[in-house]
Amino acid sequence: MAIKISGGTTNFASTFSASPTADRTVTVPDVSFTLAGTDANQTFSVAQRGAITALTDGATITPNFNNANNFSVTLGGNRTLANPTNLTAGQSGVIVITQDGSGSKTLAYGSNWKFPGGTAPTLTTTANAVDVLVYYVESASRISARLISDVK
């Protein structure tokens, strides 16, 4: 497979040992950088980050862990955080949970969510309160999590 990389006044082609179904063109802006591989140990010299994805508020909130690592949701009623779809062992992130303007909302959890001592945490219930649920996916059926309460 030949990949043509274009940027500024420099163009070059490089051949890789792969067999895609079609040629691919990558346009590179006029900057110097190193491409990272997905199958090699890496040390990054600048921060790597993803966007925060808003979850849809509803009676049952089901995150799709393919969409992001970090999520946010504002609760408009008592809710259940269901078992996420597309779990992959090793993924970690946070879910920022905000009470709406009236507060007093509760959150129940799907069976894959595991907490210290086996007890699901209670959200801060004051109006507009912010809690942060930190998680680590252990397997397709187990998510270790801890709630950081009342973040101000």
pLDDT, tens only, 85-114: 999 999 999 999 999 999 999 999 999 999
> To which residue do tokens 């993924």 refer?
91
Task: Give pTM, 2 decimals.
Answer: 0.77
Residue 41: pLDDT band (50, 70, 90) is confident
Q: Where are the domains of the chain?
A: 52-148
Angstrom distances, CA of residue 32 to CA of 7, 10, 16, 26, 40: 10, 12, 21, 15, 20
Residue 61 per-residue DSSP state = E
For the chain, the 3-state helix, strand and coil shares in percent, each to the nearest 5, are 0, 40, 55
pLDDT, tens only, 43-53: 888 888 889 99
The pair of structure tokens assigned to 87 is 């779990």
> 13 pLDDT exceeds 90?
no
